[in-house]
A = this chain, B = another copy of it.
Amino acid sequence: MDRTVKLGVVGLGGRGNGLLDTLFCIKNVEIKMICDLYEDRVEKGLEKINSDETRKAWNCTGTTNYHEVIANPEVEAVVVFTSWTSHIEIAVATMKAGKRVAMEVGGATSIENCWKLVHTSEDTGVPCMLLENCCYGRYEMAVLNMIKQGVFGEIIHCEGGYEHDLRDEISCGIENRHYRYDHYRFRNGENYPTHELGPIAKHLNINRGNRMLSLVSMASKSRGLHDWIVRNKGEEDPTAQTVFNQGDVVTTMIKCANGETISLRLDTSLPRPYSRGGRVQGTRGIWMEINNSIYLEGVSPKAHEWEPFDPYFEKYEHPLWVKYQKDGLVGGHDGMDYLVLSAFVESVARQTPPPIDVYDAAAWMCITTLSEQSIALGSAPVAIPDFTDGRWMTREPAQDTIYRLDEIPQVTE
């Protein structure tokens, strides 16, 4: 097992609180300091940590000032679970202090901040990881495995979405201190691209032999939140007067240097079942998530007919998931959270490059800003920066470096 890694945790809202539980499951982690802007969240977090004798021995402390976490000599690396707009600021400050950092996902509000993230990592020599858990999804990884083995032929087109009915979370943002409310009120764009784009970027070797060139976004009208609020909070509720700028469905198309297209959908303010809307299409076959099906030319039993995807796990389950299932799944979101956090902890323990690095983070996060720009310009195409400064042409191929989680870290009993 790897040596113990001593972490600081910044951000203890709904998501941070859940990920705290997941961190408890990673045996070689000690949490030395936690932080949130809200005192009550810090207290609740400390209580939770100290409710267990082993964890109490960590002597974890709390603060409402993230700079104290970074400065704490007991803290070796920091994980950032705060609201979207503070990720880059905290990550930059952590790297400047010479400590590794991992950020929860969320889109960027400016291209300049993405460059700042990249340049800080390059200047300090400190890696920064994006905690995109869906890169560790069982389906996403099996499909990646199949792509690397050539099962789909040459990859031509990928799709994905964040299709999740969040009307109550967004609409009740003020009372629940949730940041999404403001983003939906004021902004209009693909505000949460990475759950689908992260896996797709790995599928397409983005930043390692390929890159995203340009995008176009289009937003529908905004009706879902108002409709929900009037029916659920009442016409007299102050939020019934809110005009939300965010369109209900935002579609984004991305063109890649090697000719592939990517289509993304943000769909979070209308009633619907959850989906990440995955689709991978090559010269020899197609996978689709929504009907959990696959068609492989010459392999599928009937021409022009879908077959169920799940039997393909037998042959193409990603090795990481083979091991992981043997050990037993842990933590939230079908085990993805545990895997992505473990990958960060492992990279800290071994001082190896993180599997989702600062170039990935910048390239994926900038999509939000560019999507807003495209919509503001009437769905004009906008260029996607090359954050690798040309090195994408020669960086080692993805299959050797992603998911470098050499073994599943042991789980706390």
A contact set with B: CB distance below 8 Å: 153-154, 156-157, 165, 214, 216, 218-221, 223-224, 227, 247-249, 251, 253, 255, 258-261, 263, 267, 270-274, 281-286, 288, 290-291, 295-297, 304-306, 378-381
Contacts and interface: CB of A to CB of B under 8 A. Distances in A.
A305 B221 CA distance: 25
Contacts of A219: 261
Contacts of A296: 271
Given A214-B378, A221-B156, A223-B156, A285 B260 contact: no
Question: Binding site of A, secondary structure by majority: helix, strand, loop or mixed?
Answer: loop
A220 B156 CA distance: 6
A259 B223 CA distance: 10
A391 B156 CA distance: 42
Chain B CB within 10 Å, residue with most, of A156, A270, A271, A305? A271
Given A249-B261, A251-B253, A271-B295, A283 B223 contact: yes
A274 B286 CA distance: 12
Q: How many copies of this protein are present in the complex?
A: 2
A271 B249 contact: no
A270 B281 contact: yes
Given A157-B270, A249-B261, A249-B281, 7 more contacts: A154-B227, A156-B223, A214-B379, A221-B258, A270-B281, A271-B283, A380-B380
Nearest to A157: B249
A300 to B, nearest CB: 9
Contacts of A282: 270
A284 B271 contact: yes
Given A270-B286, A297-B271, A216 B281 contact: no
Across the A-B interface, the 5 shortest Cβ-Cβ residue pairs: A221-B259, A271-B297, A157-B249, A220-B261, A218-B253
